[in-house]
Amino acid sequence: MKITIILCTYNRCGSLAKALQSASALRLPDSDEWEVLVVDNNSSDKTREVVEEFRGRYPGRFRYLFEPQQGKSYALNAGVREARGDVLAFTDDDVTFEPMWLQNLTASLRTGEWAGAGGRTLPPRGFSPPRWLSTDWTHALGPLAIFDRGPDAHELTETPFGNNMAYRKEMFERYGGFRTDLGPASGSKVPQKNEDVEFGRRLLAAGERLRYEPSAVVYHEIPERRLTRKYFLHWWFDKARADVRESGGPANAGWRLAGIPVASFRRLIIWTLRWIFSPGAARRFSCKVNVWSITGSIVESFRQSRDAGRNSPKPTLKRDTRGPKAA
């Protein structure tokens, strides 16, 4: 099997070097051909020098690709186009790998039974969540890019995260690439989320099957700046915007005001009251997250409606020259 690891990066040469060093220790059967394709998304630091160093140390293992169009989805799509593998594994520049990560992640993709697979993304060893964060629900650590669905392998009904996922390349030929109106982009006003999960949801909607492989483990770096309430609130606000942009909002939203489902205002009031009056810091913050998330969906719903109005054809008054209709 031929495998390409696609790793997109932007101005993080320090963490990139750690990720590439970890990737150099990955173990696969000798019969498998594999490469690491680093896509530099217009970095201005020493990203290229870091990759060139690894190319020199490990000939034939690492490749460098420059993508000048700013935006992670552009970089991902460039990587997909240039990949030599039949299976494409995706990861980020701020993770480290268990040595068997790539083999375990891609093993199920040797046949046509599974379209893709997602592994287990864990925080660094010794990590403890802040006291103000409740972790009693599945997606609580989503803002930290943690994806842990337990120790047992199973079929996924949700999509894996972009730092630990793999797809057969033919899936991109069949369903297209990553949406460029979603995902991280420096200085952009588009939502900074969902380019990875939207692709997976597209496959699930088409009836393709995805597998969860808990033995494919990566560890995601968590800088201190992310362990703040402000970061979590911003993340959920932007995630809600991305959800609306991805799907257009609920299909049966009922009445709308300026493109915003009227029910959203009711939900906003309810969760604001819960935020104010709930006991306990963790419970109050969970309610506050819901307030920010609902606000994000309201903002994006309004923007989508406004932009649709601007782009719609303007009505014109034309003189009817056809004459009177026959009786």
Binned average pLDDT, 10 residues per bin, the chain of 327 residues: 97 97 96 97 97 96 96 97 98 97 97 96 94 89 95 96 97 97 77 91 97 98 94 95 83 76 94 94 95 95 80 42 35
pLDDT for 309 equals 66
Q: What is the pLDDT of residue 304?
A: 84
Predicted confidence at residue 253, as pLDDT, reads 65
Q: If you classify domain 2-224 with CATH, what class do you get?
A: alpha beta
Give the start-to-end residue ranges of the domains of the chain. Answer: 2-224, 229-310
State the pLDDT at residue 327.
31
Nearest to 105 by CA among 184, 213, 30: 213
**What pLDDT does 311 receive?**
61
pLDDT for position 266: 94
CA angle 105, 211, 180 (to 5 degrees): 80
Q: What share of the chain is helix, strand, coil (3-state, %, to 5)?
A: 40, 20, 40
- Amino acid, res. 168: R
Alpha helices in 7-131 (DSSP H): 13-23, 47-57, 72-82, 101-106
Burial of 223 (0-12, 13-18, 19+ CB in 10 A): exposed
Q: What is the pLDDT of residue 305?
A: 84
What pLDDT does residue 251 have? 56
pTM metric for this prediction:
0.89
Strands 165-168 and 95-97: unpaired
Please tell me the predicted confidence (pLDDT) of residue 136: 85
Q: Could you give the angle at which helices 72-82 and 195-205 cross, rounded to 10 degrees?
A: 60
pLDDT for the residue numbered 138: 85
pLDDT of residue 77: 98
